[in-house]
């Protein structure tokens, strides 16, 4: 996000994470366990507050080992973000596939991303967008899973008569990214003093409505009036 994906949005709720935190030195610990601990701390406390020294205290490894494995804090964050977004993509794909139709898929995926970015881990995403936007872009450019999920939703919607035939998935993807980035990274609407969820509803979902057929608009209105209300 931020690109839409970045969001994306974006993944696993911190309260649902079950990572094992080591409170005392250990003689052996795997790289995956180190990453789980580091990712947990990044998500819980934000990026800036978490230090290499704190990681060594939690894992029992030396500073030298950390730098050997990850080069520096940015390198550690890069690997953690890769892991984080793989979890996110897995979750969003499951949400999309388990939805009744393309409108529900898009609505649930978008609401999940917004919830993660502004409710669950606001400090983490705010610092990611402010201090590491290029790192986030780098990860998304190297991974097309979010684009694949988005394209699948659009193609299903077109085939089922919910999205207009002339909708171009690639153009739509870029448009959604730009709209979302204006809220999360560029703060285009900051002077309006509106909450991020309200801005998403007034931009991303208005654009989505324009892509819909009359049948698709009816579906979207049903979801907006039921379980998909933004607060």
pLDDT at 99 over 50: yes
Would you state the pLDDT for residue 31? Answer: 94
Q: How confident is the model at residue 54 (pLDDT cuts 50, 70, 90)?
A: very high
Please list the residues that pair with 163 across neighbouring strands.
212
**Which of 1-5, 12-16, 54-58, 129-133 has the least mean pLDDT?**
12-16
Residue 7 has pLDDT above 90, yes or no: no
pLDDT in tens, 201-210: 999 999 999 9
Q: How far apart are CA 154 and CA 18, in angstroms?
A: 34
- State percent of the chain over pLDDT 90: 64
**Cβ distance 91 to 12 under 8 Å?**
yes
Please tell me the predicted confidence (pLDDT) of residue 2. Answer: 47
Number of domains in the chain: 1
Q: Would you say 108 and 9 are in contact if contact means Cβ atoms under 8 Å apart?
A: no
CA atoms within 13 A on the CB side of 79: 17
Mean confidence (pLDDT) of the chain: 85
CATH number, domain with residue 2: 1.10.357.10
Which is more confidently placed, 62 or 6?
62
- Asked if the model's pLDDT at residue 18 lies above 60, the reply is no
User: Does residue 6 have a pLDDT over 50?
Assistant: no
Q: Report the share of the chain in percent with pLDDT over 70.
A: 85
Q: How far apart are CA 100 and CA 220, in angstroms?
A: 12
Does the pLDDT value for residue 77 go beyond 90? yes
Other CB atoms within a 10 A radius of the CB of residue 104 amount to: 21
For 2, the token pair is 């931020």
Global pTM value: 0.79
Residue 192 has pLDDT above 50, yes or no: yes
Cα radius of gyration rounded to whole Å, the chain? 19
pLDDT interval class at 142 (50, 70, 90): confident
Once rounded to an integer, what is the mean pLDDT over residues 188-198? Answer: 89
- Give the pLDDT of residue 90: 95
Structure token digits, residue 103? 């409108």
At residue 226 the predicted structure's pLDDT band, cuts being 50, 70 and 90, is low
pLDDT of residue 218: 94
Angle at 188 between CA 185 and CA 192, to 5 degrees: 125
Range of the domain at 74: 1-231
pLDDT above 90 for 150: yes
């Amino acid at each position: 996000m931020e690109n839409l994906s970045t969001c994306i949005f974006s993944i696993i709720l911190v309260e649902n994470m079950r990572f094992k935190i080591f409170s005392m030195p250990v003689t052996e610990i795997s790289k995956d366990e180190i990453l789980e601990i580091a990712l947990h701390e990044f998500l819980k406390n934000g990026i800036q507050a978490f230090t290499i020294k704190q990681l060594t205290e939690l894992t029992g490894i030396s500073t030298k080992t950390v730098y050997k494995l990850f080069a520096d804090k940015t390198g550690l964050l890069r690997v953690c973000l890769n892991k984080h977004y793989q979890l996110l993509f897995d979750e969003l794909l499951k949400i999309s596939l388990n939805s009744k139709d393309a409108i529900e898929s898009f609505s649930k995926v978008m609401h999940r991303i917004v919830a993660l970015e502004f409710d669950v881990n606001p400090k983490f995403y705010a610092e990611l967008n402010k201090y590491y936007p290029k790192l986030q872009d780098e990860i998304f450019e190297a991974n097309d899973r979010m684009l694949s999920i988005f394209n699948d939703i659009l193609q299903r919607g077109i085939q089922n008569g919910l999205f207009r035939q002339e909708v171009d998935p690639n153009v739509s993807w870029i448009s959604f990214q730009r709209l979302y980035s204006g809220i999360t990274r560029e703060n285009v609407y900051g002077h309006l003093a509106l909450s991020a969820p309200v801005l998403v509803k007034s931009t991303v979902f208005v654009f989505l409505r324009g892509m819909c057929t009359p049948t698709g608009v009816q579906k979207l209105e049903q979801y907006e009036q039921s379980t998909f209300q933004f607060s």
